[in-house]
A and B are shown apart, each in its own frame.
Chain A
Amino acid sequence: MSPEVVAWAAVALAGAAAAIAVQTKRAVDRVARALGELASRSTAPSRERAERRAPNPRQRAKLPEVPEFNSFRDFVKGMMFDEGVVFSSDGLVVENCSNRGSVLAPYAMEAVRALEKAGVRLSSAIMKLDRDYALLVRIGRSGSRELYAFFKHSFPPSLNAPDRLAEVLKECLVKEGVEVR
């Protein structure tokens, strides 16, 4: 084989390799772009979807600090609870901010009593519901009865939230004229 033929063959091979490299780079870019889009779609969800999803610990940390409230209604609104009811150990509603409170209270009290029958005295309970979270807290005694509160919230409360809530709620109820010890 003459050296000219070899040279021409080498040039042709180099050209083909360059063409393949360009094609490959374009394909890789296309795949990378598609992956990037996919990643951005899954890591930056819409606000609506973000609300539905369970929050990460950073979101939990963003929950507001507990300020002082003058009424139970203010308390429920300020703490961004979806529902809230304060009830006594005989299942009667003491404070209520939704129509469902009078139905919720007796059944929540039945749950507390069922636990007591099993030898478990409830101080607070954090419950994961189908869509959101619920919090059941013992606030204190009022006369011969115990007072409890039940709240529903879209975000999971932290483990020390019930104690803080009970304290603030007790102050709030005292301001409203309810005797709590």
Chain B
Amino acid sequence: MSEREARALVEAILKNSGGSVECVAVFTEDGLTVAAKGYSENPGVDPEELSAISASIIGVVEEFFKPLFRGASKPERVDVELPGGRHLVLKPWKGGMAVACVTCEEPNLGLVYLMLDEHVRSRSS
């Protein structure tokens, strides 16, 4: 998978979320950032840090699910509500990668989920 493809996904999500998503990062399962955008406008969020935290969240959720659902694969989506009404939405992608979105305060979550599902699905084949 190319870095260009990851950048295209990041830009598509940012562009189509109607302002609900402020930062997007694509990262590998070992927490390395492949592509990221929207951080310059949100100086409080560091892409490297976010990728590392997001990778560990997905890893932990996956580990928790293993005994519950035997042979379960990665979670479809993980949504963490942050203080102040922001959300961190994570979605696994292909090739052991995942997407992390940091939303604005009180986001249109329906639209964020829809965009994330649509763009990840269309770029998964």
A contact residues vs B (CB 8 Å cutoff):
87, 89-93, 102-103, 105-107, 109-110, 113
Contact = CB atoms under 8 A, between A and B. Distances in A.
Given A90-B110, A92-B110, 6 more contacts: A89-B106, A91-B110, A91-B111, A106-B113, A106-B114, A107-B111
B114 A90 contact: no
- Interface of B, secondary structure class, is helix
Contacts of B111: 91, 106-107, 109-110
A99 to B, nearest CB: 13
B104 to A, nearest CB: 11
Nearest to A89: B106
19 contacts: A87-B110, A90-B106, A90-B107, A90-B108, A91-B108, A91-B110, A91-B111, A92-B110, A93-B110, A102-B110, A103-B114, A106-B108, A106-B110, A106-B111, A106-B114, A109-B110, A110-B18, A110-B108, A110-B111
B109 interface: yes
Contacts of B106: 89-90
B108 A113 contact: yes
Nearest to B111: A106
A-B residue pairs, 3 tightest by C-beta: A91-B110, A106-B110, A106-B111
A105 B109 CA distance: 10
A89 B106 CA distance: 9
A92 B109 CA distance: 6
Contacts of B18: 110
A110 B16 CA distance: 12
Contacts of A102: 110, 114
B61 to A, nearest CB: 20
A110 B18 CA distance: 8
B27 to A, nearest CB: 25
